[in-house]
Structure 1
Amino acid sequence: MLLALSRLAASGSSELPWDVAEQELADLLEEFGRPSRTGRAQSAAYPFTRLRSDGVWTLDRDVPMDKVSTLRAGVTGRFEESLEAALRSRPALVGDVARGLVEAHFPATVAPDVLIAVGLNPELLHGGAGDPVAERKRSSTWPTQVLEAWDRQCAFCGFDGQVGGMPVALKAAHIRWFTVDGPDELDNVLALCSLHHKLFDRGVLGLDDELTVVVSQRFSARTPHGQAVYDLHGRRLRPRPGTPTPAERHVVWHREQVFHGSPLAA
């Protein structure tokens, strides 16, 4: 849907031929979706055909669900006619819908990257007052509780910078994302520096069953500063005594839904 919104904003039409979707949508799913065992084209075929069931998406011919071979006969998808007309008549609505979609499905560390990748302006995130998870707002003291539980330092690298006695560039990072019902509980959260929070949410960093940091082979760096990420591989988490360790169910969720590629060799 984000890809179609981008095409609508750029050209006035959400038309998305399968020969474009097979490449561009597959690339997006590979980068930001959960790891797939079905292959690139098949992963793209699922949303391209199944969104019809929600009444927001149409194809220019009746084809079976999920069948790549029939899509390659020249099928084109687009938004349902009345929806497209509404979006075209109110250009600001395109941004509102895009913002709502990305905020509802991705954490704040990843949402701007998704918008850029589909060709939309990440500044959309700073417009409007919509909050798709407003009913689950956490207390203002929650981030502080998390940082205190991890001794006000990054659980991965130990960064503990402060300004005026206050931690700086440290965040409460959900293991199972808050946007997909990840609970605000200490066994689902880590204190992470801004860099490692971003890499964790992008699937570059993860945890194994022994609560040891793993680095994906998809990550590469040329300078010593970037290569310092490699040094995290194999580092065991050491929470403050009394702090709950990450729950297995949340670690498994992150491994299956977020972490991409294979871990570096030991």
Structure 2
Amino acid sequence: MVVGRIGSHQDVLARLASLRQNQYRGRRAPHKPLLVLLALGRLANRASSELPWSEAEAQLSDLIAEFGPASKTGRAQSAAYPFTRLRSDGVWTLSRDVPMDKVSPLAAHDVVGRLEASLEVALRRDPRLLRSAARALVDSHFPPTVAPDVLAAVGLDPDDILRATDPAATALRHRDPAWRTAILQAWDRQCAFCGYDGQLGGASVGVDAAHVRWFAFDGPDSLDNGLALCVLHHKLFDLGVLGLDTSLRIHVSNAFTARTNAGRALYDLHGRTLEPRPGTAVPATEHVAWHRREVFKGAPLAA
């Protein structure tokens, strides 16, 4: 793929936005965006995006395991895929020409990757552009519950990045401001998983409206794509610790572990069936299937 130099502010954001085109029919593909975010973190903190494979193998593997969909490939292989293939998007270069997806040549030569030269110059010259680029990437690939954790994990300040409001980085879709209220009301203003229903001065506190299929992945603001969840279970749902089956039974991932009584209480949710009030629209099968395929980590606990 032949690409030109990256010059303007719009060029930078457009080139990074094109990473979204690697998704197909709602499939999550956060591997390349996570690598770019890791490079942005290094650029912000070290004034260089250089990333040797000897460091990328562990760091990128950890990011993909925590924030990506469940994978059947090994950790090193999962990291090698974006490390070698991001070259074809015109935003990444390697110090040595190596085959796509192969781990052994990367390790043998400790290949170094970095952002394409003109892109790096533009980002280093304008810190606001770097913030806008990072904001656009997390908004496009992760829900608001997870975005701060992703940014912190790559070495960027979540508060600083999430204040970025560059119009060029704004999503084309806009959320329905009435959706949250409608979801909370439909579920009696309590967590659909644990029943928590705290209020402060008559207003619900610590209860969110959660998308089953993420808004960033074309999830609609509809009653059959939402659950009222306490903030803890919302985050665990978006991280893939919690999920649903098509019978609307709650599943806990067998990748989750806990030692304390408070943490182990999550196991008690496994197998519990949602109990909406009469007339409440339950999550649609296609949205549940998307979450199970793209978000839920691994297999559920044994019955």
TM class, shorter-length: over 0.9
- 2:145 equivalent among 86, 109, 115: 109
Asked if 1:180 is matched to 2:223, the reply is no
Q: Equivalent residue for 1:262?
A: 299
* CA–CA separation in structure 1 for the residues paired with 2:170 and 2:117: 29
Q: Cα RMSD over matched residues?
A: 1.7
Q: State the Cα deviation string for residues 111-133 of structure 1 (Å, max 9, x = none).
A: 11111111211212442214755
TM-score by length of 2: 0.82
- 2:107 equivalent among 63, 68, 72: 72
Q: State the Cα deviation string for residues 135-180 of structure 1 (Å, max 9, x = none).
A: 3222321111111111221110111222232222111101111111
- 1:249 equivalent among 281, 286, 289: 286
Once the two structures are TM-superposed, the CA of residue 201 in structure 1 deviates from its matched residue by 0.6
Identity score, percent: 65
Q: Equivalent residue for 2:247?
A: 210
* 1:228 aligned counterpart, secondary structure: helix
Q: Equivalent residue for 1:10?
A: 45
Q: Equivalent residue for 2:63?
A: 28
Quickly say closer, same or farther: Cα 1:92–1:2, change in 2 above 3 A: same
* 1:190 aligned counterpart, secondary structure: strand
- 2:92 equivalent among 33, 57, 62: 57
Q: Equivalent residue for 2:12?
A: none
* CA–CA separation in structure 2 for the residues paired with 1:8 and 1:134: 25
* CA–CA separation in structure 2 for the residues paired with 1:38 and 1:222: 28
Q: Equivalent residue for 1:139?
A: 176
Asked if 1:235 is matched to 2:272, the reply is yes
Bigger shift: residues 102-111 or 56-65: 56-65
Bigger shift: residues 216-225 or 6-15: 216-225
* CA–CA separation in structure 2 for the residues paired with 1:50 and 1:41: 14
The answer as to whether partners of 2:49 and 2:120 remain within 8 angstroms in 1 is yes
* CA–CA separation in structure 2 for the residues paired with 1:247 and 1:65: 39
Gaps of at least 5 residues in structure 1 are none
Once the two structures are TM-superposed, the CA of residue 35 in structure 1 deviates from its matched residue by 0.8
What does 1:65-104 correspond to in 2, within 5 Å? 65-74=100-109, 75-104=111-140
* 2:152 aligned counterpart, secondary structure: helix
Bigger shift: residues 183-192 or 163-172: 163-172
Bigger shift: residues 63-72 or 197-206: 63-72
What does 1:147-166 correspond to in 2, within 5 Å? 147-166=184-203
Once the two structures are TM-superposed, the CA of residue 78 in structure 1 deviates from its matched residue by 0.7
Quickly say closer, same or farther: Cα 1:220–1:48, change in 2 above 3 A: same
Q: Aligned letter for 1:253?
A: W
* 1:136 aligned counterpart, secondary structure: coil
* 1:206 aligned counterpart, secondary structure: strand
Quickly say closer, same or farther: Cα 1:126–1:2, change in 2 above 3 A: closer
Once the two structures are TM-superposed, the CA of residue 62 in structure 1 deviates from its matched residue by 2.1
Quickly say closer, same or farther: Cα 1:133–1:233, change in 2 above 3 A: farther
Q: Aligned letter for 2:130?
A: V
